[in-house]
Amino acid sequence: MNYFPFVGIGPGHDWQHFSEPRQVQGGQWPKLEAALAVVNRDLAATLPGQDELILMLVPSAGPMTRDATDGDQIYVALPDGRWQGNSVNACDLEEGDPPEPDDAALVLSVVADAAQETIIELLRQVWPICSTHHIGMHPRPAGTTDNWYQGETDTVGPPVWWCRGNRHGTFHDVSLVGELAATLPGKQRRALRRSERKRDRRR
């Protein structure tokens, strides 16, 4: 994570201080927040000791705007605020891109990809792992083939966790993003339900 809260404003001028990254407040980015809640279900199911991921807002390197969205970037971060990888909102609002993508499946796919990168790079842990082949999975549109590539336009399925399988070409869709709990072995599913009940009682 590289971020400098001070930016020079020209020769002979003082440095200007801008706001530092901060956690997104609920309701500011509803589509991104909803997508992250779905991804956090998979995190809770497969890494039960890991706290939920959060969204971090990094203000643009310019004067703050009143709505605090123009040029700001949103990242999927660990609970301590650290993140890795690309932002999950539009990078170029001047080109007419909406702050949040309109397509819910695209939002979920982008957030799942960012969450995976943050966990792998900062926790040094492969996530999520296919319980059949014991290798890492990746978010993709449902029904893609082994030679699918990012940016392919003719795949419109909902985002799934996809496994490459073994060397014999047994690639497969494991589950919809957000539904990994259903793929766990029985013992793990029961343990997950017990922990969810305990958590609900503490609320």
pLDDT 10s per residue in the chain (203 long)? Answer: 444 333 344 455 444 445 789 999 999 999 999 999 999 999 999 998 899 999 999 987 654 444 444 578 999 999 999 999 989 986 555 555 666 777 899 899 999 999 999 999 999 999 999 988 999 999 999 988 877 777 665 666 899 999 998 877 789 999 999 999 998 877 676 766 666 666 666 65
Per the structure, how many domains does the chain have? 1
CA distance 125 to 101: 29
CA distance 9 to 123: 37
Which residue has 């310019």 as its token pair? 62
Q: Is 12 part of a structural domain of the chain?
A: no
Q: Is 116 part of a structural domain of the chain?
A: yes
Q: Please report how the helices 30-46 and 186-202 are oriented relative to each other, as an axis angle in degrees rounded to 10.
A: 120
Query: Which residue range is the domain that position 45 belongs to?
Result: 19-202
Q: Is 104 part of a structural domain of the chain?
A: yes
Which residue has 């932002």 as its token pair? 87
* Residue among 1, 53, 56, 51 nearest 23 (CA): 56
Q: Parallel, antiparallel, or unpaired: how do β-strands 137-141 and 159-163 relate?
A: antiparallel
Q: Is 8 part of a structural domain of the chain?
A: no
Q: Is 10 part of a structural domain of the chain?
A: no
Q: Specify whether the CB–CB gap between 108 and 159 falls below 8 A.
A: yes
Q: Is 1 part of a structural domain of the chain?
A: no
